[in-house]
Structure formats: C-alpha cells, structure tokens
Amino acid sequence: MTENANILTTPSVTPSRHQVIALAYDGLCTFEFGVAVEIFGLPRPEMGDNWYQFAVAAVDEGPLCATGGIRLMTDGGPELLAQADTIVVPGWRGVDAPVPEALCAALASAHARGCRIISICSGVFVLAAAGLLNGRQATTHWRYTAALQSRFPQIQVVEDVLYVGDALLMTSAGSAAGIDLCLHLVREDFGSEAANVVARRLVVSPHRDGGQAQQVLRPVARSRESLRLGQLFDYLHQHLAASHTVASLAQRAGMGTRTFLRRFEEATGKTPARWLLEERLLRARQHLTESTMGIDQIAERCGFASAGTLRHHFRQHFALSPLQYRKQFTPSPIAKSSQPRTIDGHSKPVARRVDDEERVSVVIYKEGLLGSLFFGEAKADPDKMSQFLSSYTREGWEVKTMSVERRRTALFWSREAYLFVLERPL
C-alpha cells in the first residue's frame, strides 16, 4: 500500500488537469482512503489525457500508519492543498479526536477560493471542526450521526442518505457510500458514461438510490442460499422486461415460497416486488439519459405494463416525470460538442407574424462569449456582450430572449453557450 500510494500520485501539477488531493494522517481509515485512490488515482488511458491528477497530502509529520498497520508515503504536506481543485477527507482517526487548527485553516482557505471538498464516513468531523458545515446538511456513518449532531448542533444531520451537499461541499455516509459519492463526482466532471466505465472496473452499480437502510443488522444467509440468490439477481437484471411472480422466483432459486421471501428480504431489505420496481426504474432512468428511445419503448424494455405506469412510478420515486428527468440530467448537445457552435452555425431564419407585422426570427449560439464561469461565479465581459449585440441591433434586430447553457467540467465551469433569439421586421 505504501509503495502503491506513492506510485499512483503525480507531484507535478498540470494546469489543464483537475488536481485531486487526498488527506492522510495517523489512524487513517484504510478503506476510505483506498476508495479515493481507486477512483481518482489510478491511470485510466481509456479516458484520455484529461483524467484527474492525484496526490496525497500528509496532515501529520513522520511516517503515517493507517488502520491495519499499513504505512503510507505521501507527496507533501498541507501546502499541497493550495493546489487542489478537489480535496478528499477520508475517515478521521476518531470521532472524538481533535482536528489540528492548521488543517482547519487550510480547508477553510481552500473552500473560500472555490475548491471542492468532500468527506467520506467520519471525515465529516474534520469538515465540521473547520466550520465548513455550519447551517448546512451533512451525513456520516449511521453509528456517528448522533455524535455529529450532539457536537455540532448547528449542522443539519441527514441520516438516511448515501451522500448530501452542494457542488463544492459534500459528505457521504458509511464507508461504501464513499464510492457512491466519488462516482457522483466523476459523473459531474466527465459525464455518465465515464462514471459507468469506472463503476464497471470496480464491479459496482454506477448509481445507487436510497440511504442507509442497510444499517439494520440481519442474519447472513446460508452460503448455498446466498449463491442461489446471487444467480437469481443476475438473471433478473438480464430479464427485467419479463413478468415475474414470487412463485416463479422461488422456484428458480430452489426454495420454498416462505423461505425465499424471508431470505430475499434479509439480503435486500425489500420485498421482491419492491426490488423489481426499483431496478426497473433505475434501468428506465439509464435509458432516459443514455438513449433517444421514447417513453413507450423504455417502458416496454424495462417491464412496465404501459408508459403511463412508468410515468406514475417514476414520478413517485424521483419526484420528476421521465421527460423532466431526461431534460434535466441529459447533457446538452452544446456541452457535449467538441466544436463550439458559433454565429456561423445559427439555425435557419423562420418568418412569422408578430403583432400584425411580418418578422423574421433567428436563433444564434455563441460559446465562450463572456469568458469562463469559475466555480459558478460569472467572469462577465460587458464589452464583449455589447459589441456582439450591437452588431445586430445596428441592422434592426431586436433581442427577444437570451439564456445560458452551462456544463461543469473537471476543472471548472469551462463551457457555456449563450442562446439568443433575435427578431426584425421583414
């Protein structure tokens, strides 16, 4: 582990790549640290040259010893945080362990300049000690939520979620929820397909819904029954569109109906009907963002009786209609395009009658007009805006509407497209 952590880091900073810094300290939780290394630190040539740049910053001096007696080498100390675009705080060494004031100050400074900071599991206590979570929602492992709320009453602790936060400050629940949060960041930075690729390498789901319902201790299924259920889950994922009954599933698992229901709920925390519904909804959601299929076709492929049934359950589960979800979470063509759409690529003018006067309207896309948006803060250039619009208004055009489409990339809000609808009399 020591050597691998050192090999996977890259001390030199390349401005065009997103710099992820993971904290390391004595008593570091090995699993949570490994999640950060696995997702952000491994070379991924299939992602091209713009993948994350990863380094490890030591909080304490001297050789560091993580849980399990594993010793770590790092790339530097807290000074590395000044270079970070994202900081990962793995599980802290103890919920009652004090957090160094220097670390709190470094994190506060990083957050103030727009650095994204996330915590995994008990790492939330570091963010809380730094005062970053005051007045915000936060979560942690279900064993620590009461302690977090008691020590930091100004934080709104959310128990039944995998992760929570905003674009620049996020916290995750228990250890494995850190995978969900880190995959969420990959999805935000590089898109759903990239997150899916990383998830497949990890052999995990690209996106899990729900919260910490797994916290209830349940008996472990007998090994033979566990194997049968595993085979059944594989079968169901491949045949979600088919019709299934409890009797047919129990028969396929080689169990009696009562035993099957008991073992299924022990393994999943859900009834077979509920599990099937949620898996079908997840598959439908994937089709909505990754295909152009219509709702009828998606409903059929995912095992819903009709498009209306899909709409009903989708809205209940996600609080959005399928079309609203597709519109909100599918990357816009402008954001996905590698070639900026400029004035020369505007749509064909359309003539129409407005207030008894024949007018022509034209839609124009202009990318990068006002410069970048750095962590959501507009870096506007009014002169460019004025010059651009005046070139049209001098010819009699009127600006009817303007909107901005943005996509957050791994470095900052580097892509924005400005949509103008202009009109003039014929």
Q: Which residues are catalytic?
A: 121
Contact 173, 139 (CB under 8 A): yes
Report the C-alpha gap between 192 and 325 in whole angstroms: 14
Name the token pair of 299.
């409903």
- 3-class DSSP assignment, residue 337: coil
Residues 6+ apart with CB under 8 A from 300: 241
Contact 161, 142 (CB under 8 A): no
Residues pairing with 87 in the sheet: 21, 117
CB atoms within 10 A of CB 65: 15
Report the C-alpha gap between 135 and 131 in whole angstroms: 10
What are residue 3's phi and psi, to 5 degrees?
Answer: -70, -40
Q: How many residues does the chain have?
A: 426
Name the token pair of 167.
């674009």
Which one, of 226, 265, 197, 266, lies nearest residue 39 by Cα?
197
CB atoms within 10 A of CB 416: 20
CB burial of residue 44 (10 Å; 0-12, 13-18, 19+): middle
- 3-class DSSP assignment, residue 244: coil
What is the residue whose two structure tokens read 């229901």?
Answer: 261
Contact 216, 269 (CB under 8 A): yes
Using CA atoms, how far residue 408 sits from 78, 188, 365, in Å, is 27, 7, 18
CA 10, 15, 18, 23 torsion-angle sign: positive
Report the C-alpha gap between 235 and 256 in whole angstroms: 18
